[in-house]
Chain A
Amino acid sequence: MEASDEATQGTPPGGVAPRRLLALPALLLIGVAIWEIVATRCAASAVADDAAWTEAASVVRAGYRPGDLIVFAPDWIDPVGRLHLGDLIPLEVAARMDADRFGRIWELSIRDARAPETAGLSPVATAQRGGVTIRRFERTPVTVLADLRERLATARVESPGRRPTLELTEVGFAPRRCIQIVPVPGTPARITFPAVPLGSVLVGYVGIADVFTRRDNRAPARLEVQVGGATVAEATAGVDDGWVRFSAPTTPGSADVTIVAHATTPNRLVCFAAEARQ
């Protein structure tokens, strides 16, 4: 049976205006279809190409100084950014603890995105190259007095499990250079860094490495920070928490810093990094 004539399909008994409204569905479909064709083709060419990135990279290279941080936004464009400027990004910078120690930050962004490292900062220079926005930020960086990662070799370890190692690994889907320890469940692993020069604050981060162990083992990890035997900070990292920040005020001077890692399940890859800052 064929569909019946349109005259029987909802033509209102009222006047001309209501009748004309019945053309709206067709107009809607035409409008959506035309918009979709245009939008689809535009989206396919909306992102900056290699020529634009090459020009943008040349802007950065002209003003780059060793020790500068280069970031890309949105995060999904990071591989393209590294393709063009990766030679200016050392491993330890790519896998940084955070951005606080960098006084100059270059941000290359597309689609009006901003990198979290530049949140709250105002650019001192801005340029546009074919859809790539280059912003340079300058600020007073923190002064790092001691980086616990650099002191692992002299640390005292009290743990029945594996000795901690310095790794470049995935934590929260980001690269992190961190000290990895695998505590025996129920037995805290203690790592003591002797005679650490302290400033006014100890800042650190903790997270659980490796997406697959996070999937298969959903228990959190806990970190305790002791200075001179007293607990000054604690942080708990769940499997979906990523890189969890902790900090504690410290008295300038030298003291032993002990990191105590707790896990309730086997093979919990606890990763941390910490700095004593002026």
Chain B
Amino acid sequence: MPPGMRSSICGLVLALITVIVVVVNQRDVGVARDEVVYMQHGSRYADWWVGLVTLDHGPSKDSITRSFGGKGPTDGNREHPPLAKTLFGLSEKLFHDELGVASELTAYRLPSALLHGLCVWLVYTMALALWGFAEAVVAGLLLLFLPRALFHAGLACFDAAIMTMWFATVYAYWRCLDGRRWPWQAGVAFGLALATKHTAGLLPFAIALHYAIVGYRSGRWRGLVLHRWRLIVSFVVLSPLVLALVWPWLWFEPVAHVRDWITFHLRHVHYNFEYLGENWNAPPFPWHVALVTTLVTVPVVTLVAAALGTGAWIARRDEVTYPDRAPGLLLALSAAASIGPFFLGSTPIFGAEKHWMPALPSLCIAAAVGVVWAGRVAFGVLAAWRPLADRWRYPLIGALATIVVGAAAVETFTAQPYALSSYNALAGGAPGGADLGMNRQFWGVAARGVLPVLAREAPAAGAPPVSVYTHDAAPAWGVYHRLGLLPKTVRDAGWEQQGIDRSQLAIVIHEKHFNRHDYLIWRSYGSVQPVFVLRVAGVPLVSVYRRSARD
């Protein structure tokens, strides 16, 4: 087998392993609040596309508005572009409704898992092109073994998807700097990124600056535009076309609809988010949120390796493949464009690390360079100290990589399925994160962990249903019923005090700003005592209350 083919197969195997790990892992992950919205609208979008292809309807303004839009700013979930949602809906139709090979939830989430596998493959492929096989494998594995990224990749949300599309654009752009005649890949990839999540709009800052630097080096002032001018055309022409092609909402009144989309995010409400013991819901936010959050959520060994790799890369920048295309600079600018806005103090910080996930491929490639460089240099030292055959070089590098990747894997699997509450060893794990006052969780995902407790409270046959106050988990309740995780006789009681007052059971998903739910329940139930507290590593995630029989 030619070495090139062997390398390609290895990359595909890594991607496949990633998809399997994500799919298996997500089975224990609860349904996120926003995920329910994306699944519902994804199904509507998928229905529309299927109807269009099967000629059930045409692309009329009315049918598009019914499925993709409306008068309100969030009608049809039009504040988010449709690509990922459409894939979720199509996947559910195919793998659950038609083939019956996956549960409803897994089928919705499968596109995220596949895209995460694609991201690992892209990282592997770029690292392979830049440095070599060892770096490529380590980079792919370090991306797989990121606790929070693995968690997000298992949700039918946009965060893993945009990381993939962002990095696909970076990689395609970098490849297209070779001067090819038709660099369509870059424009198409960026169009897909825009159709995935609005944060793709940050990427041009990185690419434009990189292009300017590379162009200037190549042709001085003339090179600023003309160095690879077809790339500019690709971005300017193809990206909007691709975005419009996959988003029927832009097929009429496109300027107004794009303006609405961008305006929604520029004026986005600031959700509550705990950081270093304080609840933040209004700017100015601390400038260091992104820095500290990354330091305590990425495996420590990956961070150390990335620091080593950055140093090694700078020292050996002329040894990298195609140094004229400045790949190190491109990866650095890509990461900076993704994470940079969170240093401003005005960018919403809720969601934390998921909003700068596109920085992670750069980090993992740098980490892989660091691991392999450290291994090679250590081999050189050993060989100089004691005679050592050259055939031991790769086993030694492999051993070092194994222990590094192993540590990242331990962090990653320890964090599941409550990775939003997990912090790395530097923070002291989940308890250390709680001590630091870092955000406990969001989206109500952990409610899944108390479903068995609630299911035990189901009434006997013929008895009236039991109502549960579910607050942040309310949107997911129907999904839990359909998945069979909860009897239909254990139903959602409704919102706020009215819901609590008619409930027999209540849950509180612990976040600092959700303390208020505890107090509403105390007042109604006349007790401060929960009957069960779900914990991860001893840290409370969800409390369950039961109304006293005398009430």
User: In the assembled complex, how far is the CB of residue B2 from the closest CB belonging to chain A, in whole angstroms?
Assistant: 16
- Asked if residues B300 and A32 are in contact (CB atoms below 8 Å), the reply is yes
- Asked if residues A40 and B410 are in contact (CB atoms below 8 Å), the reply is yes
Chain A, residue nearest B316 (CB): A9
- Asked if residues A29 and B304 are in contact (CB atoms below 8 Å), the reply is yes
User: In the assembled complex, how far is the CB of residue B366 from the closest CB belonging to chain A, in whole angstroms?
Assistant: 13
Q: Mark A23-42, 1 if CB is under 8 A from B, else 0.
A: 10111111011111101111
Bound CA–CA A32/B425 (angstroms): 10
- Asked if residues A34 and B282 are in contact (CB atoms below 8 Å), the reply is no
| Contacting residue for A169 out of B133, B403, B519, CB 8 A | B519
For the complex, is A215 an interface residue (Cβ under 8 Å from B)? yes
Using known A-B contacts A36-B299, A94-B522, A215-B272, determine if residue A23 contacts B377 with beta carbons closer than 8 Å: yes
Interface residues of B in 365-409 (CB under 8 A from A): 370-382, 384-385, 400, 403-404, 406-407
- Asked if residues A29 and B519 are in contact (CB atoms below 8 Å), the reply is no
- Asked if residues B434 and A76 are in contact (CB atoms below 8 Å), the reply is yes
- Asked if residues B301 and A33 are in contact (CB atoms below 8 Å), the reply is yes
Bound CA–CA A211/B370 (angstroms): 45
Bound CA–CA A174/B528 (angstroms): 13
User: In the assembled complex, how far is the CB of residue A13 from the closest CB belonging to chain B, in whole angstroms?
Assistant: 12
Q: Mark A194-223, 1 if CB is under 8 A from B, else 0.
A: 000000000000000011001100100000
A-B contact pairs, 10 of them (CB 8 A): A25-B373, A26-B378, A29-B404, A32-B301, A47-B539, A76-B440, A76-B510, A79-B518, A89-B529, A170-B516
Q: Chain A residues near B529 (CB, 8 Å)?
A: 82-83, 86-87, 89
| Contacting residue for B378 out of A22, A48, A215, CB 8 A | A22
- Asked if residues A29 and B301 are in contact (CB atoms below 8 Å), the reply is yes
- Asked if residues B380 and A211 are in contact (CB atoms below 8 Å), the reply is no
Bound CA–CA A195/B29 (angstroms): 59
- Asked if residues B381 and A30 are in contact (CB atoms below 8 Å), the reply is no
Chain A, residue nearest B377 (CB): A22
For the complex, is B218 an interface residue (Cβ under 8 Å from A)? no
Interface residues of A in 136-155 (CB under 8 A from B): none
Using known A-B contacts A87-B529, A170-B519, determine if residue A80 contacts B540 with beta carbons closer than 8 Å: yes
Using known A-B contacts A33-B403, A86-B528, A95-B519, determine if residue A44 contacts B272 with beta carbons closer than 8 Å: no
Using known A-B contacts A35-B425, A43-B432, determine if residue A170 contacts B515 with beta carbons closer than 8 Å: yes
For the complex, is B61 an interface residue (Cβ under 8 Å from A)? no
For the complex, is B414 an interface residue (Cβ under 8 Å from A)? yes
For the complex, is A168 an interface residue (Cβ under 8 Å from B)? yes
Interface SS of chain A: helix
Using known A-B contacts A26-B378, A29-B371, A79-B540, determine if residue A43 contacts B301 with beta carbons closer than 8 Å: no
Chain B, interface size: which category?
35 or more
User: In the assembled complex, how far is the CB of residue A189 from the closest CB belonging to chain B, in whole angstroms?
Assistant: 23
Q: Chain B residues near A241 (CB, 8 Å)?
A: none
- Asked if residues B301 and A36 are in contact (CB atoms below 8 Å), the reply is yes
- Asked if residues B516 and A168 are in contact (CB atoms below 8 Å), the reply is no
Q: Mark B284-309, 1 if CB is under 8 A from A, else 0.
A: 00000000000000011100110010
- Asked if residues A6 and B379 are in contact (CB atoms below 8 Å), the reply is yes
Most chain B beta-carbon contacts within 10 A, residue among A26, A49, A86, A91: A26
- Among B46-54, B222-230, B258-266, B530-538, the one that faces the other chain is B530-538
User: In the assembled complex, how far is the CB of residue A213 from the closest CB belonging to chain B, in whole angstroms?
Assistant: 11
For the A-B complex with A19-B381, A46-B429 known, give 15 more contacts whose Cβ atoms are closer than 8 Å: A1-B319, A11-B384, A20-B381, A22-B380, A29-B308, A43-B430, A46-B538, A49-B538, A76-B435, A77-B540, A82-B529, A87-B529, A175-B515, A175-B522, A215-B272
Q: Chain B residues near A111 (CB, 8 Å)?
A: 431, 435
- Asked if residues B410 and A30 are in contact (CB atoms below 8 Å), the reply is no
For the complex, is A123 an interface residue (Cβ under 8 Å from B)? no
Q: Mark B306-326, 1 if CB is under 8 A from A, else 0.
A: 001000000110010100000
For the complex, is B543 an interface residue (Cβ under 8 Å from A)? yes
Bound CA–CA A45/B293 (angstroms): 23
User: In the assembled complex, how far is the CB of residue B312 from the closest CB belonging to chain A, in whole angstroms?
Assistant: 8
Bound CA–CA A72/B370 (angstroms): 45
Bound CA–CA A82/B522 (angstroms): 12
Bound CA–CA A78/B531 (angstroms): 14
For the complex, is A186 an interface residue (Cβ under 8 Å from B)? no
User: In the assembled complex, how far is the CB of residue B71 from the closest CB belonging to chain A, in whole angstroms?
Assistant: 24
For the complex, is B96 an interface residue (Cβ under 8 Å from A)? no
Q: Chain B residues near A240 (CB, 8 Å)?
A: 278
Q: Chain A residues near B316 (CB, 8 Å)?
A: 3, 9
Interface residues of B in 151-178 (CB under 8 A from A): none
User: In the assembled complex, how far is the CB of residue B495 from the closest CB belonging to chain A, in whole angstroms?
Assistant: 13
For the complex, is B100 an interface residue (Cβ under 8 Å from A)? no
Most chain A beta-carbon contacts within 10 A, residue among B372, B374, B424: B374
